[in-house]
Amino acid sequence: MTTLWRGIARGLTEAERRIALVERCRPLGLRAEQARLAAAWQRGEARAPRWELAPAPNLSELRALLEAVADRVELLGGVGGLYADRARELALEAQLAERIGTPEFAKLADRRFAVDRGDDGAAAEAWAHEWVCAGGEPEATPLVETDDETRADSLLSLMQAMVGELRLPFRVTVSPDLMSAAATGDGVIVIRGGARLSTSEAERIVHHEVVGHALPRVRAGQESCGIFSVGTAQGSDDEEGRALLIERRLGYLGEQRRAELGQRHLAALSVRRGADFVETVRLLLEVGARTPAAVAVATRVHRGGGLAREIVYLTALSRVTRCLEADLGCERFLERGRVAVAALPCLRELEDAGAFAPVAAE
């Protein structure tokens, strides 16, 4: 049985690499198009984007295989249910990757990154409205180029320093067209080149990516059970929630960061409620976003045709916070990989049954 689970874990990991949903949604020539849009909006011209997307892949065989795997392993019980849920989530992401840039994309995205109709979704929306109203002017602090190798306080240098200090098996690379300031993948942390950040903002991003994303991936690779590396369904969502909680614990969730998160959440909600790009930019301007930021946030939530993945961040922050307030011991699971709060009862049962050993204390 162990050989079977290892094979399934390898297969699902490879499927995720092939699907590469978020990467496929990134428009080609992103920086140039964003600059054109920002300049137009600053002139008072409400322009829509002219995005060019890479050709959509044909993943029909992979989708069918993922569904078949899900049906098979679900019958095995135990960890099989977690693998089945993750396989079906990946099948949905594969379907999304095939529909990028089409009218069907936003509806499918609403299934994968849905608006939470419960208490966590309500908390997230309340925070978003409160935070965008409270956000003040940016601090008057010196800004440093993110990829300036000559500065020890640049994002690139700070990221390399922490990765090296912790001896993590990650490369730190630069991409000019990255949608976010930084992103963590399989053995790599990518930062957006050409941006300018304060030292405190760069430090926040380093802790978000390294402590929130890279360290759990390293720990997952040390587990005997592959579900930590593969991730549970919604595990990547709740990992983002815990990364924000780490920011808050370290004192990085200040007014400007909260305003940014609030703007992203409201923008994502606008996509789910049918807004187009122009309507989203106007909404962001109304709640106080500066024009370049409004264009950048609208670009994020409308990428691919309405991915709006940003809808999960504050919702997951609420969900993870409530979970740990009720039982701080749950963090021993969340810090070990891309694990969703919803998967914790099953993981507890498996651990009690001796399915895997806890990670040794560092």
Cα separations (Å) of 272 from 31, 132, 176, 302, 307? Answer: 25, 19, 29, 10, 9
pLDDT of 1 higher than 60: no
Per the structure block, which two tokens stand in for 153?
Answer: 């306080």
Q: What is the pLDDT of residue 361?
A: 41
**Mean predicted confidence (pLDDT) in 94-112:** 96
Proportion of the chain above pLDDT 90, given as a percent: 89
Greater confidence (284 vs 356) lies with 284
pLDDT of 357 higher than 60: no
User: What amino acid occupies position 36?
Assistant: R
Q: Say how far apart CA 230 and CA 84 lie, in whole Å.
A: 11
**Mean predicted confidence (pLDDT) in 245-250:** 98
**Structural domain boundaries enclosing 64:** 2-352
Strand partners, 18: none
Low-confidence winner among 1-10, 49-58, 353-362 (lowest mean pLDDT): 353-362
**Mean predicted confidence (pLDDT) in 109-119:** 96
Q: What is the pLDDT of residue 224?
A: 87
Q: Is residue 357 part of a domain?
A: no
Per the structure block, which two tokens stand in for 21?
Answer: 């949903």
pLDDT of 141 higher than 50: yes
> Do residues 295 and 34 touch, judged by C-beta distance below 8 A?
yes
**Mean predicted confidence (pLDDT) in 45-59:** 94
Report pTM. 0.94
Per the structure block, which two tokens stand in for 126?
Answer: 């309340």
pLDDT of 245 higher than 90: yes
21-33 pLDDT, tens digit each: 999 999 999 989 9
Q: Is residue 273 part of a domain?
A: yes
Q: What is the pLDDT of residue 360?
A: 47
User: DSSP characters for 167-232?
Assistant: T-S-EEEEETT-SSSEEEETTEEEEETT-EE-HHHHHHHHHHHIIIIIHHHHHHHT-SSTHHHH--
Q: What is the pLDDT of residue 138?
A: 64
Proportion of the chain above pLDDT 70, given as a percent: 96
Q: Is residue 362 part of a domain?
A: no
304-342 pLDDT, tens digit each: 999 999 999 999 999 999 999 999 999 999 999 999 999
Per the structure block, which two tokens stand in for 264?
Answer: 């992203």
Q: What is the pLDDT of residue 355?
A: 76
Reported as a pLDDT band with limits 50, 70 and 90, residue 108 is: very high
Backbone angles phi, psi at 187, to 5 degrees: 75, 15
268-288 pLDDT, tens digit each: 999 999 999 999 999 999 999
Q: How many domains, in total, are found in the chain?
A: 1
Start-to-end CA distance of the chain, whole Å, equals 30
CA angle 115–212–176, rounded 5-degree value: 85
Q: Say how far apart CA 155 and CA 305 lie, in whole Å.
A: 30
Q: Is residue 361 part of a domain?
A: no
Sign of CA dihedral 338, 342, 345, 349: negative
Q: Is residue 339 part of a domain?
A: yes
Q: Is residue 360 part of a domain?
A: no
Output the average pLDDT for the chain. 94
**Mean predicted confidence (pLDDT) in 64-86:** 95
User: What amino acid occupies position 240?
Assistant: E
| Coarse DSSP helix, strand, coil percentages of the chain, rounded to the nearest 5 percent | 60, 5, 30
Q: Is residue 358 part of a domain?
A: no
164-207 pLDDT, tens digit each: 999 999 999 999 888 899 999 999 999 999 999 999 999 999 99
Q: Is residue 113 part of a domain?
A: yes
Low-confidence winner among 5-9, 172-176, 351-355 (lowest mean pLDDT): 351-355
